[in-house]
Amino acid sequence: MSATRVRDPERNSGAVWRVLQVISGIGALWLLVPMLIVIPMSFTGSRSYRFPPESWSFRWYENIVTDDRWLSALGTSLLIAVIVAVVATTLGTAAALGLSRIRIRGAQVLNGLFLSPMILPVVIIGVAVYLVFLNFRLVNSPGGMVLAHTVLATPYVVVAVAASLRGFDTTLERAGASLGAAPLRVFLSVTLPIIRPGVLAGALFAFIASFDELVVSIFLVGPSVRTLPVQMFTSVAQESDPTVAAVSTILMVSTAIILLLVVLAQRSEPRRAP
Amino acid sequence: MATRYRGIEHPLRGGWLLVPALAFLAVFFVYPLAMLITRSFTEFRETEAGVGPFGNYLWFFANDANVTILVRTFTTALIVTAVTVLVAYPYAYVMTRVSARWRMVLLAIVLLTFWTSLMVRNYAWLILFQRNGLLNALLASVGLGPVEILGTLPAVVIGMSQILLPFMLLPLYASLSSIDRGLVLAAQSLGARPSVAFLRVYLPLSAPGVAAGGLLVFVLALGFYITPAVLGSPQNSLFSQLIVTQVSDLLAWGRGGAMAVVLFLVTVAMLGLFWLISNRRELPSPLRARGGRS
């Protein structure tokens, strides 16, 4: 009851706070350490995962360049991810615009349908797509891989664009149209500049969704299409090959750089009037 | 003029914008799922032929090994969800209470993990758990070990929890950072001990964030395939691996399809349960009425 019992909760102190700090520290280490381990491992001199490595070398990085399985897998993954990003961004942006404009009872159901590839266990999608693509001759084909990845990537675009459309003032579009602009012109010079951050974020998500996809890809790979995650997965399953550590290090550094660029871009993004 | 204006009132109006995406999903998503479900009722191995359309489902539930794996997958997903809540709650809470600089560091760690390739993270654990890897080197330095953790269920749980932790942390942090600290202060100034103020005020306000993150982690964990394949062993495989084995190795589309339907129904049941609970939470309460404002 007494007033002295009320501690100042704005001060971080006491045993409880220490415990929380320790748990957070463990959480941070748990997130980071496994990934950081990969970096020294990529410079090991021997073909083993002994830690710490007994000798050092660049041979696994050389291996990426000289063994064309790795470079071709990287090229395939990049190409597929770029195409998927373009297709999924087009489909997803149109869908998000459409969803924001219709006022019918089924809008919620449609929304659920668009998001379901993101929520459904991906192995189910993989098996189902594999079953049908076998008949369509889309297994072991880059086109089949693009189609399957687009199914998985489109929901991310819908979510990102829908978020940027929240609070969007359609009066602006009407103003543009009343001044005589054709619908496409209205979209390009009024709507798109305003929702651009959402569209770009969606495109980035779609690219990563494809570039990182593994489960569905395992079903669809073959001699003529092999993506980087699949190459890593099969390599890990068959032998202890530190080339995977070198590839992982390159991927992590790229991720960190892209993340940094996105943060910087968001900071410099000029604030637009809604 | 008025009619002309009405004509251009919604320059991009209309559902036609939905058509390309709908058509695409219909052909490459809905149709494959429908085909798979159909197969589960029409394609049988010799042993189930003539049992009726539910033959594959009867086979699934009559087979002890299948049920064991289903239960194991459920248990694993529950443990993973519990572990992520126990780590994410303090982590997200500390994030709301430290300086902006520390908050950035803690957030950057989560985001970097979140965006790093899934295969890289699984591979990282594989290296760490090696017999002559870092874990055993650390254990040896304090006079313990070595342990053979690779290929065991604990290895799978540790890896899965770390991979799914950001899915718990991000919604939970959003939820915790929107809680009005004044409510906890008010409870304490009215005589509640800090622990009571936490349990009666802060915890209920954070429940929606925990539920949202928990559901996401649980549903994703149910369908995990890569982590148990890399860190586990065939003796403790999870449900997704069972489906892949049936389809890829045995080409048993009927059985595989039936298993996919079971996994699908479990996932939908979880989402439905969450929807029911979260709707019930809309019941008015004096705290919620204020909490929603801040």
Give how far Cα A11 sits from Cα of A14, A17, B173, B202, B226, Å. 9, 10, 20, 17, 44
Q: Is A255–B14 a contact, with Cβ atoms under 8 angstroms apart? A: no
Contact partners, residue B92, CB within 8 Å, separation at least 6: B169, B172, B173, B175, B176, B209
CATH number at residue A163: 1.10.3720.10
Tokens 């997704």, located at residue: B240
A185: in domain:
yes
> Backbone phi, then psi, for B131, in 5-degree steps?
-60, -40
Positive or negative torsion for Cα B248, B253, B259, B260: positive
Q: Considering the domain boundaries, does residue A57 fall inside one?
A: no
**In sequence order, which residues have a C-beta less than 8 Å from that of residue A56 and are 6 or more positions away?**
A43, A44, A45
- Chain A residues with CB inside 8 Å of B124's CB? 34-35, 37-38, 248
pLDDT at position A270 is 58
Cβ-nearest to B226 among A94, A181, A214:
A214
Find the CB nearest A154 among B19, B21, B32.
B21
Using the beta-carbon criterion (under 8 Å), do A127 and B106 form an inter-chain contact?
no
Burial class (CB in 10 A: 0-12, 13-18, 19+), B108: middle
| Cβ within 8 Å, pair B264-A124 | yes
Identify the CA nearest to B5 among candidates A179, A16, A141, A153.
A179
Q: Is B39 on the interface with A (CB under 8 A)?
A: yes
What Rg value do the Cα atoms of chain A yield, rounded? 24
Q: Which residue has the higher pLDDT, A251 or B2?
A: A251
Please answer yes or no on whether B17 and A98 come within 8 Å at the CB atom.
yes
Closest-CA distance, A274 to chain B, in angstroms, reads 18
Dihedral of the alpha carbons of B288, B290, B293, B294, in degrees to the nearest 10 = -100
CB-based contact (8 Å) between B201 and chain A? Answer: no
At A249, the pLDDT band (50, 70, 90 cuts) reads very high
The mean-pLDDT minimum among A160-174, A189-203, B58-72, B90-104 falls in A160-174
- Interfacial B residues in 202-261 facing A (CB < 8 Å): 219, 222-223, 225-226, 229-230, 240, 243-244, 247-248, 253, 256-257, 260
Whether residue A263 is predicted with pLDDT greater than 90 in this model: the reply is: no
Q: What is the pLDDT of residues A185-242, one digit of tens each?
A: 888 888 888 899 899 999 999 999 999 999 999 999 998 899 999 999 999 887 778 8
What confidence score (pLDDT) does residue B144 get?
Answer: 82
**Is A273 inside any structural domain?**
no
| Burial (CB count within 10 angstroms: exposed 0-12, middle 13-18, buried 19+), residue B219 | buried
What chain A residue is nearest to B105 in terms of C-alpha separation?
Answer: A28
Give pLDDT, residue A70: 92
Domain of residue A88: give its range: 68-267
pLDDT of residue B11: 43
A60, part of any domain? no
User: Hey, of A4, A33, A127, which one would you mutate to test binding to chain B, going by the most B CBs within 10 A of its CB?
Assistant: A127
CB contact under 8 A, A147 and B271: no
> Does residue A50 have a pLDDT over 90?
no
pTM equals 0.87
The predicted-structure confidence for A121-177, as pLDDT tens digits, reads as follows: 999 999 999 999 999 999 999 999 999 999 999 999 999 999 888 878 878 888 888
Considering only the beta carbons, identify the residue of A113, A128, A187 that sits closest to B36.
A128
Confidence of residue B7 (pLDDT cuts 50, 70, 90): very low
Residue type, B144: L
d(C-alpha A86, C-alpha A81), whole Å: 9
Task: Write the residue in A20, A104, A187 that is nearest to B93 by C-beta.
Answer: A20
> How many CB atoms sit inside 10 A of residue B233's CB?
14
The two three-digit tokens of residue B174, written as one number: 């959003």
* Candidate from A233-242, B45-54, B109-118, B198-207 with smallest mean pLDDT: B45-54
- The residue that leads in pLDDT, B193 or B156, is B156
Q: What is the CA radius of gyration of chain B?
A: 25
Q: What's the rounded Cα separation, in Å, for the pair B93 and B27?
A: 45
B171 to chain A: which residues are within 8 Å by CB? none
Q: Which residues of A touch B4 (CB under 8 A)?
A: none
Whether A249 is covered by a domain: the verdict is yes
Q: What is the DSSP letter of A12?
A: -
**Beta bridge partner(s), residue A44:** A56
Cβ contact, residue pair A101, B165, below 8 Å: no
CB contact under 8 A, B24 and A151: yes
Is residue A123 in a domain?
A: yes
Tell me the CB-side half-sphere exposure of residue A37, using CA atoms within 13 A.
Answer: 25
The one-character DSSP state at A242 is T
> Contact A176/B11, CB-based, under 8 Å?
yes
Residue with tokens 């961004």: A89
User: How distant is the Cα of B71 from the closest Cα of chain A, in angstroms?
Assistant: 17
How does DSSP classify residue A270?
A: P
From the list B24, B119, B162, the residue facing A34 with the nearest CB is B162
For residue B131, is pLDDT > 60?
A: yes
Q: Which residues of B touch A148 (CB under 8 A)?
A: 28
- What distances in angstroms separate CA A177 from CA A161, A183, A187, B16, B109, one per listed residue? 22, 7, 10, 18, 46
With cut-offs at 50, 70 and 90, classify the pLDDT of residue B124. Answer: very high
Q: Tell me the per-residue pLDDT of A11-30, one tens digit each, with 9 for 90 and over.
A: 667 888 899 999 999 999 99
- Of residues B208 and B9, which shows the higher confidence score? B208
Q: Searching chain B, which residue's CA lies closest to the CA of residue A240?
A: B127
**CA nearest A138: which of A219, A74, A250?**
A219
Contact A111, A96 (CB under 8 A): no
SS3 label, residue A240? coil
- Which residue reads 């086109």 in tokens? A143
Q: Is A222 helix (H, G, I), strand (E, B) or coil?
A: strand
Tell me what pLDDT residue A3 has: 46
Q: Write the DSSP assignment of chain B as a string of letters.
A: -HHHHHHTSSTT-SGGGGHHHHHHHIIIIIHHHHHHHHHHHH---GGGTTS-TTHHHHHHHH-HHHHHHHHHHHHHHHHHHHHHHHHHHHHHHHHHHS-HHHHHHHHHHHHHHHHS-HHHHHHHHHHHTSTTSHHHHHHHHTT------TTSHHHHHHHHHHHHHHHHHHHHHHHHHTS-HHHHHHHHHTT--HHHHIIIIIHHHHHHHHHHHHHHHHHHHHT--HHHHHHS-GGG--HHHHHHIIIIIT--HHHHHHHHHHHHHHHHHHHHHHHHHHHHTTS--HHHHHHTT-
Residue A144 belongs to a domain: yes
Q: Is B4 on the interface with A (CB under 8 A)?
A: no
Whether residue A31 is contained in a domain is answered as: no
Provide the mean pLDDT of chain A.
87
B93: contact with A, CB 8 A cutoff: yes
Number of domains in chain A: 1
Residue in A closest to B182 by C-alpha: A9
